[in-house]
Amino acid sequence: MAVQRIDLKDQSVSMDGVTADRLIRLGSGDAALLYLYLLRAQGAYDPAEAGRALGWKRAQLDAALAQLGQLGLAKGAAAPSAAEPVPVPDQAPEYTAEEIAAELRDQNGTFAALLREVENLFGRRLTTAQVSILLELYDYVGLPGEVLFTLISWLNERNRKKYGPGKRLSMSYVKRVGYQWKENGYDTLEAADEYIASVQQRESREGAMLAALSIYGRPAAAGERRFLQQWMEWGFPAETVTVAYDITLTNTGRMNWNYCNAILRRWHEKGLHTPQEVRSEHKSAPRAAAPAGQPAAARQPSEEELASQRRENQRGLAEMKRVLERMRQSEE
């Protein structure tokens, strides 16, 4: 299923009394929790993302969304379909060599063509066990040939970028993701393409945020991703995150995620999101003394101070590298 845009009754993070009364009368904790999630996501609903965030299976999500729809609190949501049971790996048939050969007997058939394309992609023949996994996803899980090839091509490219060309893509991993795609409704070419595009867009934005924090060459860790997602939801571009990062380094001497988050939260609450807005507010604000116990971040340094601090940090890092090199040489 493609990412939907749900028209909520109220898109603020707070909840009005009438809506709260409806949810209370409904008596469904799942519906109330899903509504809070949708408020937090500003109505953007991707079943896979929602399931991960809430720790729910698709059936639980569908039931809660249906209850919200009945209350008129989730307009625009597609009606959940319960006609087709979700395939379970433990219940999948074990395909014998004879059954695989029978499926491949028609060389003009979809599965035979799919196998040829996958082997061309990998540059090698698949083993019987690997072909069995491919047939399971095609025959039992019910993913169409074009969707399966899209999935495998995408995973293969991600695997190559992450590990290099020498690391082969595991068909066991393909199997696990294939079941997830089926469960989340990415079983048409359109839905698969939209899902991949949404992942690439999110990762591109995360990459820009990481670069703003001088983090390169690796994806965000789970804890870091929560902060990045929050900052994107608040509407901060990467350039503003760089300003907050510089202030964090100046006042703490290192990257402190909670400290940086507090700076961005304060700006968000003031409605300041672009670097120009932040700097304009800083220039117009009076230089009042910080209250007792308040951290030094209450006063934002000037551009000159930031540049000076960055140069000092670079000199400190260079000296640390020289010390470490001398220590390594002394141990040899």
More confident residue, 3 or 270: 270
Contact yes or no for 228/213 (Cβ under 8 A): no
Tokens found for residue 21:
């009364």
* Mean pLDDT, all residues of the chain: 81
79 pLDDT above the threshold of 90: no
297 pLDDT above the threshold of 50: no
pLDDT of residue 258: 95
Residue 185 amino acid letter: G
pLDDT of residue 170: 96
More confident residue, 187 or 20: 187
Mean local confidence (pLDDT), 84-102 = 88
168 pLDDT above the threshold of 90: yes
Q: How many other C-beta atoms are found inside a 10 Å radius of the C-beta of residue 58?
A: 19
331 pLDDT above the threshold of 50: no
Q: Provide, rounded to the nearest whole percent, the portion of the chain with pLDDT above 90.
A: 47
Q: What is the CA radius of gyration of the chain?
A: 26
